Structure 1
Amino acid sequence: MALRAGGRWARPGSALRGRCSGPRRAGDTPRHRHLREALRKIIDKEINPFVDKWEEEGQFPAHKVFKILGQAGFLGVDKPTEYGGMGLDFSYNIAVAEELGNVRCGAIPMAIGVQAGMATPALTRFGSHELKKQFLVPTIAGDFVACLGISEDGAGSDVATLTPMETIIQETIDYTGQRKVFGQPVLHNQTVHFRLAELATEVELLRSLLHRAVALYVEGNDVTKFASMAKLKAGRLTREVTDSCLQFWGGMGFTNEVLVSRFYRGKSSVLSLQRRDQHLAVDPGLAIDVNRRWHRRNHAFHHMQIHGHTSKKVMHLHSSLKIKKARA
């Protein structure tokens, strides 16, 4: 059985190793790969070497990190070139989001995702030219650090969880292959071995679903159904991977130095953006329709916000939408 995680193969001699062939990602072109390689260099040089220090301090230098990313164009991959973006299609966003999963903590990719994928799309789509010049340009450049206060769940975190999940599985394979209990590696226990293989399979299936949805979206199709399925699966798999892998680390799993501990600790912030599991699981057809209608209404509200309509009437409209959403 093949098990691929974080771009690495399982240790030699393990049954959890193998090869796969063919493209693994939607839009897996030389240009996509070049973009990922450029971002990986920034992660390896400017972010990962300092993650432990930032973890100890409980904060990271967002303005510095965002400026570096902004200068390289990674905060405006799909934004218009007129405002400093790259003007690329959505498949490049996915490539960037996956690569950000190589950051050795969960909070920084989340913050970058908010900046590039949650705080700016409505401004890009509905904002006037003057507002875009005033706010979108410096945000893409990394001069502004954007924040967002919304009642709607975001989807950007779903993609960013794929790579960390793979990395956590691979590091668990490495650790259990070294850790011995009753004279043999923990990995040699069939229960552990089978569970890790099962999780790796689930992650790869989720990746296939994601990239099918992306390919259809780039072609101009309505992918609400597949996006809803991916959102449901990503939220649940985030819990399964961190919960299961943490158990195989024993006491080490609760130390800040290991990645599984950081993602187990931070999964609540990711899941807060994925808490619509029940809506999606009750009736896929109904849930998808509710999901689509809620997105349309929420975009309308953002449109009114961007154009300065902050009257009590608008706020009442937003409250009524939330009530209708709860009843749906």
Structure 2
Amino acid sequence: MTTDNVYASKEEMTMFRDMVLRFLEQEILPHVDKWEADHHMPREVWNTLGEAGMLLVDMPGEYGTAEATFDVCQMIQEEMCRLGLHSLATGYNIHANIVAPYILNIGTDEQKQQWLPKMASGDVLTALAMTEPDAGSDVAGMKTTAVKDGDEYVINGSKVFITNGNQADMIIVCAKTDAKAGAKGISLFLVDTSLPGFSTGKPIHKIGQHSSDTGELFFNDLRVPANALLGEEGKGFVYLMQELPRERLGCAVQAIGHAQGALDLTIDYVTQRKAFGQTVSQFQNTRFKLAECQTELEMCRALMEKHMDKFSRGEMTVTDAAMLKLAATEMQLKMVNECLQLFGGYGYTDEYPISRFYRDARVQTIYAGSSEIMKEVIARGMLGR
């Protein structure tokens, strides 16, 4: 994405942030405890988000969007995570920050008109299906196939750990159109989940982000029309590499928002909780831990702002995105751990929100490329191989 107006003005950002916070406080926060306990977020939430103008905010206005800037989309995710709504933010990142740009950047005019307006309204919820039972970080090792048959493609295979997978109305499916070509044989398809041959398994229960929909998908002789091909055949891996930086930037934004939320909770707790005749905030260990957390958070925020600026100019590299995701998500895990420790035994109870922050953060160093993969990407960028 490269435009002349990629940042909202200070006044515009304040207006958008106030609107987002009012919405989350009124429509989401009163229900989130029940959703987390039920391991389920109602599908209608996405329609409500659409009605509030919070979906696809930085897509062109012709698709029924708020026609805001890229940083507004990132702010929404950051505020969700700051308020402890990591489950919602993860689904939002997939739908509005990942799938939508795929369609906008490489889709045909027909595909854009077919899907983007309904995605903006929340009438269509989307997912991205890359990971398979035997192919996670090794995208080239995927086994799902799409075989051309006349004016259709026949898709067979399965996917796992797919965010929004059980509720999605449309899914970008990565499949091999040439099983012998490795990464060069991957193509992308816009799959309508109402088609015969598509099914899902039981929702996957996780140690954190309980209300986030995570599914297992199955494709059994599922036929899609030839115009469901997204971009060119055989270029799927190239498209994935082009779009991964924005996905990883989104993960970093969530990490920073979530870490800030955990720190806010902890500061509030230690300034009220008393031990040995004084508040916990008066102990030197507490003060030093908080100082370290604040410093590491601000360093990651500065790195995020630097790379958001590079992204807005079309200059953010795969290596940049890997460094940002690695730094921000590792900081997030370390920080929520330190914050929970300062709560003592209460931090280990569901009664205190810090416990959810702790659980929800854990997957951040795994999905969208694990920390180990991020290090390999960075090293290749440094060494040229």
Mark yes or no: TM-score above 0.5. Answer: yes
Partner of 2:73: 93
Query: Against the structure 1 CA distance between its residues 223 and 286, is the aligned structure 2 distance closer, same or farther, given a 3 Å change threshold?
Result: same
In 2, the alpha carbon distance for the partners of 1:145 and 1:219 equals 29
Letter in 1 for 2:28: I
Q: How does 1:44-193 map to 2 (within 5 A)?
A: 44-61=25-42, 63-151=43-131, 154-155=247-248, 156-193=250-287
Q: Is the 8 A contact 1:54 1:60 kept in 2?
A: yes
Q: Percent identity?
A: 29
Q: Is the 8 A contact 1:75 1:140 kept in 2?
A: yes
In 2, the alpha carbon distance for the partners of 1:48 and 1:183 equals 35
More helix by share: 1
Q: Is the 8 A contact 1:75 1:141 kept in 2?
A: yes
Q: How does 1:281-320 map to 2 (within 5 A)?
A: 281=375, 284=378, 286-287=380-381
SS of the equivalent of 1:229 reads helix
RMSD of Structure 2 on Structure 1 (CA): 2.4
In 2, the alpha carbon distance for the partners of 1:196 and 1:122 equals 40
Q: Is the 8 A contact 1:281 1:287 kept in 2?
A: no
Query: Against the structure 1 CA distance between its residues 289 and 124, is the aligned structure 2 distance closer, same or farther, given a 3 Å change threshold?
Result: farther
Partner of 2:10: 29
In 2, the alpha carbon distance for the partners of 1:102 and 1:130 equals 37
Q: How does 1:250-289 map to 2 (within 5 A)?
A: 250-273=344-367, 275-281=369-375, 284=378, 286-287=380-381
More strand by share: 2
Normalised by the length of structure 1, the TM-score is: 0.73
Query: Against the structure 1 CA distance between its residues 229 and 216, is the aligned structure 2 distance closer, same or farther, given a 3 Å change threshold?
Result: same
In 2, the alpha carbon distance for the partners of 1:248 and 1:52 equals 23
Query: Against the structure 1 CA distance between its residues 86 and 249, is the aligned structure 2 distance closer, same or farther, given a 3 Å change threshold?
Result: same
Partner of 2:330: 236
More deviation in 264-273 or 31-40? Answer: 264-273
Letter in 2 for 1:214: M
Which runs of no fewer than 5 residues in structure 2 stay unpaired?
1-6, 132-136, 138-243
Q: 1:40 aligns with which of 10, 18, 21?
A: 21
- Following superposition, the deviation at residue 289 of structure 1 comes to 8.4
